[in-house]
Chains A and B, each alone.
Chain A
Amino acid sequence: MEKSEIAAVAANVMYLENPESIDSSKSLFLDYGMSSIDFIDFAFEVKSRSGTGLGPDQLWPVNSMMTNPDNFGGGRWTETGLKRLQEIFAGAELPENPGLQQLSALFSVDFVARRVSAA
């Protein structure tokens, strides 16, 4: 799935006028205000158009990982959780114990394109 198509889907679900206004490296959550409902809508549309089996929890696994004690507990990522994060955010420089906000900053069109092509 091309980045331009991903950006178009994102623009459509967020009711933005121009998909070209989306910078592919910027966070859809933090910079463009993608809401939780927007995200589910976006994930369904990406799944349908890409033909991958990536549901919302696979496209952005961070939230579900944070509710799994194997990955996260007592406000800290476990070794397993950190290893998984490094796989998901391959190439990104992650802090020692990244918070949800810091990870949300990485949810960009570029990130989605990588997730889709790896699926």
Chain B
Amino acid sequence: MKRKAVLLGASSSIGEKVLDRLVDSGYEVLATSNSNEAVRREWQARYGQAVSGAALDMGSAQSVAAFVPIMENFGAPDAFINTAGATDHRLCMNFNAELLSQAAMINYLSPALLSSKAASMMAPRSGGYIVHITSVAARRAKIGNAAYGAAKVALERFTASLALEFARFKVRTLCVAPAFVDSPMFSAFAGDRRREIIRDIPLRRILKPEEVAETVMRFIDGGLVTTGTTVNLGNGEAVF
């Protein structure tokens, strides 16, 4: 029987690479993107029946609630991978309750809820992998990354408890926390300071999305034996 994976944020740079790898490995994938119909049509054309696309706005409680029956209908996944997330580079003094709630919703609450649901679906048939892409920002406080970093800390902590509660049912969890990844998100953040930022990284390079995808695949294929932990990826930025 074909293995099944749920992939959230499949149109992100990391998500795209994970999606490629899942399909190459023979998974049937339920992939989500944030209301981007064109991307889902592109998946259909590229992957055919191996990928079902669904709209999911991680910042909307209604959208998350509407996605649950879609996931139930898809069936218990072997792997649940969350690559969705959104940074909001903003000083603490400029946050209001709505902006802070939105950052928490996208980066913590929605992933936590959906991964709990996925783990509960995996438990009766005993086995599965839960992966969240978090960030080195969870441990490295910087000016402007308070809301994003705090939400990722919360997600890592939540995922650790999820590991303990579902270990009996052979469900493993992992957070993958990359440092800078070569992506539109990084380009937007770096602007014309790209060279300056890379110069400050000990290995003077940034991660490629496929390197993050490789770690995800290694874990869900059983080559990385752990649960409830976070793997930091990077080129020296993540040395504390």
Contact = CB atoms under 8 A, between A and B. Distances in A.
15 contacts: A13-B168, A37-B165, A37-B168, A38-B168, A40-B123, A40-B168, A40-B169, A41-B168, A41-B169, A44-B123, A44-B124, A44-B126, A44-B169, A47-B124, A48-B124
Interface residues of A, number: 8
Interface residues of B, number: 6
A48 B165 CA distance: 20
A41 B123 CA distance: 9
Interface string B109-150: 000000000000001101000000000000000000000000
A interface secondary structure, majority? helix
B interface secondary structure, majority? helix
A47 B126 CA distance: 13
A38 B126 CA distance: 14
Q: Which of B123, B124, B126 has the most CB of A within 10 A?
A: B124
Given A44-B123, A44-B124, A44-B169, 7 more contacts: A37-B165, A38-B168, A40-B168, A41-B168, A41-B169, A47-B124, A48-B124
Contacts of B123: 40, 44
Contacts of B124: 44, 47-48
Contacts of A44: 123-124, 126, 169
Which 3 A-B residue pairs are closest in the complex by CB-CB distance?
A41-B168, A44-B124, A37-B168
B128 to A, nearest CB: 14
Contacts of A47: 124
B160 to A, nearest CB: 15
A85 to B, nearest CB: 27
Contacts of A41: 168-169
A40 B123 CA distance: 9
A44 B124 CA distance: 6
Interface string A62-85: 000000000000000000000000
Nearest to B167: A37
Interface in B83-124: 123-124
Nearest to A40: B123
Contacts of A37: 165, 168
Contacts of A13: 168
Interface in A26-71: 37-38, 40-41, 44, 47-48
Q: Which of A44, A47, A48 has the most CB of B within 10 A?
A: A44
Contacts of A48: 124
Interface in B151-195: 165, 168-169
B211 to A, nearest CB: 35
A37 B169 CA distance: 9
A48 B168 CA distance: 16
A90 B123 CA distance: 31
Q: Which of B126, B165, B168 has the most CB of A within 10 A?
A: B168
